[in-house]
C-alpha cells in the first residue's frame, strides 16, 4: 500500500507501521501536548507511524489544535460516543499495530514502547495497559473504578485469563486482528466488547503496568455506562 510506503520513508523499513488512535471530545487543554509527546516517542524509536484523532463532535478548538499539531483529524458531525469514534478510526488507519489512548492526559505516551514491545517481538497479539498493576500509579479509587474491578473479575472468571483493568483505554493490538472483528458498541462499552471477543478468539494476550494521571473529570456516566458495560459483557459471554 502506497500510504504505508510513504510512512516508512521516515522510519525503519523492517518495522511495522504504528497507528495511534485518539478519540477526543472537547480536549483542547490536553490534546496538543499528547500529540507532541506521542510523536517524540515514536520518532525516538524510529518507527513509521500515523496519529489519528477522531473529533467526536467537539464544540471547542480540539480539531484545529490537532491539525496544527500534525495529526490526521477525522470528525464526527455530532457527538456519537467513544465506541463510534474508535470504530471510525479502525476503518481509516493504515498501521500494522494499533495503539489506542485517551485524549484527556490520563495516559502517558512515554509508555507506548512498553505496550507495543510484546507485539513487535511476536509474543502476543494484543496488550492491555493496566493501571491496577502499577502500585505507584496515582489512580484514585472512585465508584467507577470499583465497577471496573468488578467487571474485570467477571471477565477473568469467564476467560480464565487474569484481567485487572477491563476498562483501560490504553492498549495495543495487531490491526489484522481487530479489523477482522465485528464491533457494534457505540459508547464506553467498546473496551469490554473488544477484549472479550479477542479472548474468545484465543488471541495471545498480556497486561502490562502503566501509570495513570487523575484528570479530575470523566465523561463516563457511572450508572448509565455501567449498565451498558455490564449488559455488553453478558451478551458477549453468552454469544
Query: How far is 239 from 221, CA to CA, in rounded Å?
Result: 26
Looking at the structure of the chain, the number of domains it has is 1
How much of the chain exceeds pLDDT 70, in percent?
77
pLDDT at residue 56 greater than cutoff 50: yes
pLDDT at residue 13 greater than cutoff 60: no
At 112, is the pLDDT very low, low, confident or very high (cuts 50, 70, 90)? Answer: very high
Q: Contact at 8 Å (CB) between 81 and 56?
A: yes
User: Which tens digits make up the pLDDT trace of 178-200?
Assistant: 988 888 888 878 888 898 889 88
81 DSSP 8-state letter? -
**Segment among 7-16, 29-38, 91-100, 182-191 with least mean pLDDT:** 7-16
Determine the distance from the C-alpha atom of residue 145 to the mean position of all C-alpha atoms in its chain, rounded to a whole number: 17
pLDDT at residue 78 greater than cutoff 50: yes
Residue 22: domain span: 2-238
Mean pLDDT estimate for the chain? 84
pLDDT (average), residues 2-12: 56
pLDDT (average), residues 127-144: 66
Rg value, the chain, Cα: 17
Task: State the helix-helix crossing angle for 190-200 and 222-238, rounded to 10 degrees.
Answer: 20
User: Which tens digits make up the pLDDT trace of 223-234?
Assistant: 555 556 666 666
Indicate which CATH number applies to the domain containing 213.
3.90.550.10
At 141, is the pLDDT very low, low, confident or very high (cuts 50, 70, 90)? Answer: very low
Helix (H/G/I), strand (E/B), else coil: 82: helix
Question: Which residue shows C-alpha cell 484528570?
Answer: 215
User: Which tens digits make up the pLDDT trace of 19-52?
Assistant: 999 999 999 999 999 999 999 999 999 999 999 9
Q: How many CB atoms lie within 10 A of CB 209?
A: 17
Amino acid at each position: 500500500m502506497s500510504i504505508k510506503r510513504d510512512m516508512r520513508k521516515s522510519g525503519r523499513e523492517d518495522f511495522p507501521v504504528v497507528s495511534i488512535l485518539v478519540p477526543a471530545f472537547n480536549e483542547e487543554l490536553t490534546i496538543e501536548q499528547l500529540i507532541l509527546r506521542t510523536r517524540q516517542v515514536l520518532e525516538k524509536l524510529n518507527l513509521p507511524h500515523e496519529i489519528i484523532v477522531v473529533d467526536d463532535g467537539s464544540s471547542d478548538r480540539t480539531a484545529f489544535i490537532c491539525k496544527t499539531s500534525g495529526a490526521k483529524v477525522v470528525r464526527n458531525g455530532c457527538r456519537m460516543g467513544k465506541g463510534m469514534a474508535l470504530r471510525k478510526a479502525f476503518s481509516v488507519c493504515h498501521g500494522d499495530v494499533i495503539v489506542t489512548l485517551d485524549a484527556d492526559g490520563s495516559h502517558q505516551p512515554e509508555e507506548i514502547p512498553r505496550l507495543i514491545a510484546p507485539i513487535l517481538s511476536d509474543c502476543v497479539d494484543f496488550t492491555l495497559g493496566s493501571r491496577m498493576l502499577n502500585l505507584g500509579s496515582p489512580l484514585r479509587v472512585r465508584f467507577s473504578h470499583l465497577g471496573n474491578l468488578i467487571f474485570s473479575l467477571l471477565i477473568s472468571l469467564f476467560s480464565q485469563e487474569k484481567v485487572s483493568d477491563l476498562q483501560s483505554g490504553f492498549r495495543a493490538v495487531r490491526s489484522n486482528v481487530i479489523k477482522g472483528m465485528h464491533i457494534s458498541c457505540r459508547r464506553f462499552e467498546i473496551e469490554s466488547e473488544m477484549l472479550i471477543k479477542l479472548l474468545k478468539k484465543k488471541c495471545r494476550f498480556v497486561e502490562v503496568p502503566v501509570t495513570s494521571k487523575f484528570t479530575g473529570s470523566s465523561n463516563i456516566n457511572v450508572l448509565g455506562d455501567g449498565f451498558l458495560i455490564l449488559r455488553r459483557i453478558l451478551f458477549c459471554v453468552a454469544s
